[in-house]
Amino acid sequence: MVLKIFFPQCCNMADSGLLIGHWLPGQDSAVVLAVVHYPFIPGQVKRYLSQLQNESRVALAVLGSWSMPKDGQEGMESFLKDLSTIFPQGRWLQLSREMGQRGFTCHVVQREGTLLGDEGDKCNGENGDGGRVIFIHYDQRKVMLSQLHTLEAGAGAGAGAGAGATVTGAGPSELRLVFSTVAQSQPLFHTDKYDDGPLKLTHWQSEGREGSIIVELAKQASVPLCLLLTWLLSLWTWLCGIRLLNLQPVRFVSSKLSTCVQLSYRTEHLQTVSSPKKALGHAEFMRKANIFVSFFVDVALGLLLISWLYQENRISLLANTLVPAADHVAQELQELLKWLMGAPAGLKINRALDEVLGRFFLYHIHLWISYIHLMSPFIEMILWYVGLCACLGLTFALSVLSDIVALLTFHIYCFYVYGARLYCLKIYGLSSLWRLFRGKKWNVLRQRVDSCSYDVDQLFIGTLLFTILLFLLPTTALYYLVFTLLRLVVVLFQGLIHLSVDSINSFPLFAMGLRICQPYRLAEGVKFRVLCEEPGKPLHLLMEINPLKFGSVMQWYRTPTYSCYPKDSWAALCKKLFVGELVYPWKHKSTKKTD
């Protein structure tokens, strides 16, 4: 039998006193949490522990005594030994350490009064059952603040679901009990050796409680700010709920604008952050912290963009560049259409249909150029006001850029829709007429192909239509191919913008900062290192925390967003492009997780 004693490193040099801790149920292990310094009154210690029972979820008790002999404290060890009769326990630990030595001396006293590990057993570091006594030293601050994650690969959906760890050589249940015991004993750490009171304790906060006070003051100061933000968001939600804004045309247009989608997304996240409800668990706290830091960095980048745009008259330069660029694109499209109206790449196409389609598209380009020149006097003013939206964040500026690209290339989208509809009509017409030649037809009710008999007139008309569509197909396919490629170029550019916005929204900045600055806060397990192994004394191990890998941090703490993902697989996308169906390769796909 091995008796494991988890001892905090902060108590290695503590003054003599009593050990406060918890015996792990079902385990032959004890977790030392604090040391009560001498002088003390046993009755006060009992009242203090009974008070902690109501505040803490851990059954705290006096585990034994701690002796650190100093000058003027002769007879302290015998005095502490006699306290086992005042604090009756199943086991009473007597730990002592001499100045200048690393190892501890351990005696275990049973409730009946028999001394285990005395003299002969003491030299071998064994208890009376023949088992060894092992001290496992741990950094109480790191254990208190850390969050252990399970090592199983499929556990990413339940971030922060418990302080469990799978460690070779130690059962996961025991480690879970150790970490949960330290975490749930927080009321014990409210008193330390510097407080005015009858009891003086040494624990992990004894040397750094000033930071905790600053955090508490920041929490108190954030309450009125959160209330103000909540009121403003409720007012904004009420304005968005006006019936006029919920009409079908307005809702349809807003759902297609990336700026409106991003605004809705940020509103929802601000409501989450400004909620006065306290985070219930580690996962919810990390989600709020990641959202807050992401929003803060987003706004900071947006303000930097504004400061760059409104210096050296860059808005005017951008407006003066935008109109010539749009004219250049329109002229290139005109040249492309004139090339298609000739003999493109030496292909022999239908002259009449080619002339009709070419003139039809050229007329659209003429309308687009007229529209651009009509709006050119107002473009600088529009860009000046639109640039102000960057104060809401860089993601808003990128969303506005995506919408501007969509508006400036709207004629290319129209060309793609026209060409796709004509091409799709011919493809489905040819496939239907091909079934006619084989004596089959498409059953709309049963959604399958059935056999059918046709008369001579139907076969003649079908053959005539099939021939016409087949010979007109190359001309339509050529226009469809060209404008589909142009549309895919625009979609690819917008997809890169959406990917950038999604990365800023979902990247766990707070979690990554913790992983870099305080890697013990996010851990995936522990490891043990031999700290001291001396003959005649118990074995001393040091428990160290393994930090979570950066990839695992992304998997656990990535903020769910609306995310842009391909709507179809590559095979389905190629099939749609081949038959002429309209494709929208990027869509807003919800990836929200329920806690």
Asked if residue 487 belongs to a domain, the reply is yes
Q: How many Cα atoms occupy the beta-carbon half-sphere of 510 within 13 Å?
A: 20
Angle between helices 456-506 and 258-273 (to 10 degrees): 40
Q: 236-240, 376-380, 389-393, 469-473: which range is least confident on average?
A: 236-240
Total domains present in the chain: 2
Q: At what angle do helices 550-557 and 282-309 cross, to 10 degrees?
A: 100
Residue 523's closest CA among 201, 207, 148? 148
Pairing relation of β-strands 29-37 and 3-8?
parallel
Q: How confident is the model at residue 301 (pLDDT cuts 50, 70, 90)?
A: very high
**Is 272 a member of any domain?**
no
Q: How far apart are CA 565 and CA 586, in angstroms?
A: 6
Distance CA 70, CA 367 (A): 95
Nearest residue to 33 via CA among 65, 7, 5: 7
Mean pLDDT of 581-592: 59
**Which one has a higher pLDDT value, 521 or 231?**
521
Is 146 contained in some domain? Answer: no
Instruction: For the chain, give the mean pLDDT.
Output: 77
Same domain, 337 and 486: yes
Indicate whether 375 and 503 sit together in one domain.
yes
* 441 domain-assigned: yes
Q: Can you say whether the dihedral through the CA atoms of 134, 138, 144, 150 is positive or negative?
A: negative
339 shares its domain with 195: no
In a domain, 10, yes or no: yes
Domain assignment present for 303: no
Tell me, yes or no, whether 340 and 201 share the same domain: no
Among 168-182, 251-265, 326-340, 421-435, the range scoring the smallest mean pLDDT is: 168-182
Q: Which domain holds residue 31?
A: 3-133+184-208
Say whether 589 sits in a helix, a strand or coil. coil
Q: Would you say 44 and 191 are in contact if contact means Cβ atoms under 8 Å apart?
A: no
Based on the domain organization, do 200 and 342 belong to the same domain? no
Give CA separation, 51 vs 17, 59, 83, 138, 187, in Å: 20, 11, 21, 26, 10
Q: Is 50 exceeded by the pLDDT of residue 343?
A: yes
Contact residues for 315 (Cβ-Cβ < 8 A; gap 6+): 309, 380, 383, 384, 387
Please check whether residues 203 and 345 belong to one and the same domain: no
Average pLDDT estimate for 23-27: 83
Check whether 436 has a pLDDT greater than 60: yes
Please report which confidence band the pLDDT of residue 241 belongs to, taking 50, 70 and 90 as the band edges. Answer: low
Proportion of the chain above pLDDT 90, given as a percent: 3
Q: Is the pLDDT of residue 292 over 80?
A: yes
Three state DSSP letters for 474-528:
HHHHHHHHHHHHHHHHHHHHHHHHHHHHHHHHHCCHHHHHHHHHCHHHEEEEEEE
pTM (global) more than 0.85: no
3-state secondary structure of 442: strand
What value does the mean pLDDT take over residues 37-66? 82
Residue 528 lies in a domain: no
In a domain, 109, yes or no: yes
Can you give the C-alpha Rg of the chain in angstroms? 37
Q: Is residue 589 over pLDDT 50?
A: no
Q: At residue 223, does pLDDT exceed 50? A: yes
* Pairwise CA distance, residues 214 & 141, whole Å: 17
Residue 179 has pLDDT above 60, yes or no: yes
Q: End of a domain among 176, 208, 240?
A: 208
The whole-number pLDDT of residue 114 equals 45
Q: Of 109, 106, 124, which is closest to residue 4 (Cα–Cα)? A: 106
Mean per-residue pLDDT, 96-118: 66
